[in-house]
Amino acid sequence: MKTPSSKKNSRTNSPDTADHIIPVTKEVEDEWVAVGKVVGVFGIGGEVKVEAFTSFPERFAETPLLYAGARHTPYKVLRAHPHKRHMLLQLEGTQSIEAAERLRGLTLYIPADQIHALPENQYYLHDVVGLRVLHVNGRELGTVTDVLLTGGVDLFVVESSQTGREILLPAVKEFIRSVNIPAGVVEVDPIPGLFDDDFETAF
């Protein structure tokens, strides 16, 4: 999951998917989680148009403060509502077009301890990226570098520890046997040959 253009900001909902991957953010720091980006200004009252990075867009109306840009400048959220594919936010101190324009292009953050808790077997995108991939027989296969959210079956992008090439592993229960976030491991049982150059001698 390191190819931003491949991510879709919606919850995966395939009944065959092994575990739900919740793409809350395209950018995660130790103390901050990005939840959106200001992409424009709407109307003359200084509302900002936000591309949401979260599967929980309602959180904008529930969050009292958002933090903008690399300096994490705090802004009180006065109003938030959906508009087509974006969220419109009225932030304190940006009640004019000129003030709102100064936020264009800035990423909006929340403190990491404010992200929503998830049900069992659902994971945030940033928790899955970086996991070691182990075959059920104990063999080390590689590392998850990206997750492609296709709207159907999600795909784990795995960098092979043997060849360095990228391998697309369907995130379905048939192949993904377990995801252990604390241990940093996803255990898989892929089709023979997927992680080998020689299909006949695989596994």
Going by pLDDT thresholds of 50, 70 and 90, the confidence category of residue 17 is low
Q: Are residues 74 and 51 both part of a single domain?
A: yes
Q: How confident is the model at residue 114 (pLDDT cuts 50, 70, 90)?
A: confident
Confidence of residue 155 (pLDDT cuts 50, 70, 90): confident
16 inside domain = no
Does residue 61 sit in helix, strand or coil?
helix
Q: Is residue 59 part of a domain?
A: yes
Q: φ, ψ for residue 95 (rounded to 5)?
A: -85, 20
Highest averaged pLDDT of the listed ranges 36-40, 55-59, 175-179, 195-199: 36-40
A 10 A CB-CB count for 91 gives 25
Structure pTM? 0.59
pLDDT at 87: 94
For residue 152, give its domain range: 129-201
The answer to whether residue 6 sits within a structural domain is no
Asked if residue 72 and residue 141 are part of one domain, the reply reads: no
Residue 112: its pLDDT value, please?
Answer: 83
Q: Is residue 98 part of a domain?
A: yes
**Residue 144 confidence class, pLDDT cut points 50, 70, 90:** very high
Looking at residue 115, what is its pLDDT? 79
Boundary of a domain, candidates 84, 114, 144: 114
Q: What is the pLDDT of residue 185?
A: 94
Identify the burial level of 6 via C-beta atoms within 10 angstroms of its C-beta, where 0-12 means exposed, 13-18 middle and 19 or more buried.
Answer: middle
Boundary (domain end) residue, out of 79, 114, 149: 114
Residues 72, 47 share a domain? yes
What is the number of structural domains in the chain?
2
pLDDT digits (tens, 9 = 90+) for 170-197: 888 889 888 998 899 999 998 887 887 5
Q: Is a pLDDT exceeding 80 seen at residue 8?
A: no
Starting at the edge strand found earlier in the chain, the sheet holding 185-188 runs 166-170, 155-160, 140-148, 132-135, 185-188, 176-180
In this structure, the answer to whether residues 107 and 36 fall within a common structural domain is yes
At 182, list the tokens.
């604390």
| Mean pLDDT of all residues belonging to the chain | 80
Write out pLDDT tens, residues 59-109: 888 889 999 999 999 999 999 999 988 999 999 999 899 999 999 999 999
**Residue 38's domain is classified under what CATH number?**
2.40.30.60
